[in-house]
Amino acid sequence: MKIWATDIPKKQRPIININDRALTMGKNQYLAHMIELKREDLKEYTKQKETMEETSATALLWYNFMKNKILGEEPCPTS
């Protein structure tokens, strides 16, 4: 946190009206927000991954069904 507070030199702080405590609190809030966003992204990614897996399985079944229908073969019971 001290590194974050030293990013802005003391000479420039009065100009933008920022003190050390505000800088460290801002950094903590930023980090907490980024962690929450990462959790939401992980949930969304997991949901999208499940949807894609279901879609792929359905597409494969449909492909095999149509291939068997066109070629006149009996459908495989394990498909």
6-65 confidence digits (pLDDT tens) = 566 666 655 556 566 666 677 778 888 888 889 999 999 999 999 999 999 999 999 988
Show me where the domains of the chain are located: 2-71
For residue 44, the model assigns a pLDDT of 92
Rounded alpha-carbon distances, angstroms, from residue 24 to 4, 11, 31, 43:
7, 18, 11, 29
pTM of the model: 0.46
Confidence of residue 1 (pLDDT cuts 50, 70, 90): very low
- Torsion, Cα 54 57 58 60, to 10 degrees, reads 160
Q: From the CA atom positions of the chain, what is the Rg in Å?
A: 28
Would you state the pLDDT for residue 77?
61
Smallest CA-to-CA distance from 23 within 41, 37, 33, 10 is with: 10
